[in-house]
Amino acid sequence: MESSENSFGKRYFIFLMVFLGALSAFGPFITDFYLPTLPSMATIFHTTPSMVQLGLTASMLGLAIGQLFFGPISDKYGRRPVLAVSLIIFAISTLASIYSHNIEFFNVCRFLQGLGGAGGIVMSRSVATDCYSGRELAKILAIVGAINGVAPVAAPVIGGLVAKSIGWKGIFVILLIIGVVLFLMCGLFRESLPKEKRFKGNLWRVAGSFVRLLHLPYFCVYVVMYGFSFGVLFSYISSASFIVQDHFGYSELFFSLVFATNAIGIAVGSGLTLKFRKMTTAALFSAAGMTIVGIGLLLSALFADSFWLYEGLTFVILFFLGFMFPAGTTLAMDEGRSAIGAASAICGAIGFVFGGAVSPLVGLGDLIVTSSAIILASSVLALGFAIVAYRRKTDKN
């Protein structure tokens, strides 16, 4: 009997890791799966590249706002019902986006897609923190962080492989199927926040948990540091398809292969994070590495204009970036344990706020120079906050 229970526990643990990993990847797939089709969509909708890129910003804005809503609400009503509602919103908006006849309606659907997908992202961190703490939490978030780092890069790879055969509408059909599968998996998920541990106040007091968290100075340090790392990631993501295909003249398939290669860099960096005894040290290592290599990337954009130099430096930056995802998330979630859902919401929302802010900016001026400059600026700012975090004498991570 005991052996049977242990076997069930192991099977559920595997299911939970797969489920949390899929939920953490869900948001990046919403934003990035259609990236290889951005240049062609500008032609299809008879609009400008900036207007098409606005759909990326709209989805990230939805992901940010959705997390701020679903996170604290799940502290009061539980993780499972809130997740189910968010997935229903995603499915309806995705279905509507497939029938878009103009870019304006499409961008509205993209916002709603992000809003619905936000529930999955915020729950992936909240459920992990419900069940684990300290270094155990770091191990779980290293897995989730690796997926969360690879997914934004892997999504365009898959999108590039299928874009020519099924087009942008086919890509959104696949997203709809993914949403339905996650909704079905939600039925197998056991609630991780029991009723006795839920927030007992009214909804206004639930919203007040944000204020309480923002009064924790080091929580803010960790979250902003994590946010600037997303500035690096999305500067790369939003510019790469145009740089590789338009600037250097390579195909969609080659672009997908480049993204696949860079995904390896993020995955390896995330996996090696646990080699550090303290997460603050891992964060400092990450930010310092990105800054140093970022200087080289900007110089190469200004003076060399070589694809292989651009790609080599980008791969190394993304390798260093991989360390920041589990390190930054673990630090922030452990610091904000008094309101786990709200902490997860802030941590996730800040990433997409920073990502949404930089995405339109990379299209200004010379794309390769501007994106490199924003990557460097984001790295430098992340380094500043990482230094503050590292100097914290009471750090226990």
| pLDDT interval class at 386 (50, 70, 90) | very high
* Position with higher pLDDT, 344 vs 306: 306
pLDDT reported for residue 223: 93
Q: What is residue 148's predicted lDDT score, i.e. its pLDDT?
A: 66
pLDDT for the residue 9: 66
Which range of 45-49, 81-85, 139-143 scores highest in mean pLDDT? It is: 81-85
Chain Cα centroid distance, residue 396: 25
Collapsed DSSP state (helix, strand, coil) of residue 166: helix
With beta carbons less than 8 A apart as the criterion, state whether 343 and 333 touch.
Answer: yes
**Element containing residue 311 per DSSP (H, E):** helix 307-335
pLDDT in tens, 246-296: 888 888 778 778 877 888 888 888 888 888 888 899 999 999 999 999 999
What average pLDDT score do residues 300-319 get?
92
- Separation CA 378–CA 358 (nearest Å): 9
Q: What is the mean pLDDT of residues 151-173?
A: 76
CB 258 within 8 A of CB 364: no
Model confidence pLDDT, tens digit, residues 334-368: 888 877 888 888 887 787 778 778 877 887 778 88
* DSSP structure string for 107-121: HHHHHHHHHHHHHHH
Spell out the CATH class of 8-188+196-390: mainly alpha
Q: Residue 394: what pLDDT?
A: 46
Cβ contacts of 173 within 8 Å, gap of 6 or more: 98, 166
- pLDDT for residue 5: 42
Question: Hey, where are the domains in the chain?
Answer: 8-188+196-390
The rounded distance, in Å, linking the Cα atoms of 173 and 102 is 18
- Ramachandran class of 199: left when φ > 0, alpha when ψ lies in -120 to 50, beta otherwise: beta
Residue partners of 187: CB distance under 8 A and separation at least 6: none
- Please state whether the predicted TM-score (pTM) of the whole model is above 0.95: no
Q: Which amino acid is at 130?
A: D
Whether residue 36 is predicted with pLDDT greater than 80 in this model: the reply is: no
| The token pair that represents 279 in the structure block | 């997460």
Mean pLDDT, to the nearest integer, of 100-108?
88
Q: Is residue 117 within 8 Å of residue 98, measured between CB atoms?
A: no
Closest CA to 24 of 187, 177, 149: 149
Q: For residues 247 and 241, what is the distance between their CA atoms, to the nearest angstrom?
A: 9
Comparing 318 with 129, the larger pLDDT belongs to: 318
Compute CA 60 distance to the chain's CA centroid, rounded to the nearest angstrom.
9
Dist. CA 374–CA 292, nearest whole Å:
14
Which candidate, 321, 347, 274, places its Cα nearest to that of 123? 347
Q: Which of 389, 56, 384, 95 is nearest to 236 (CA)?
A: 56
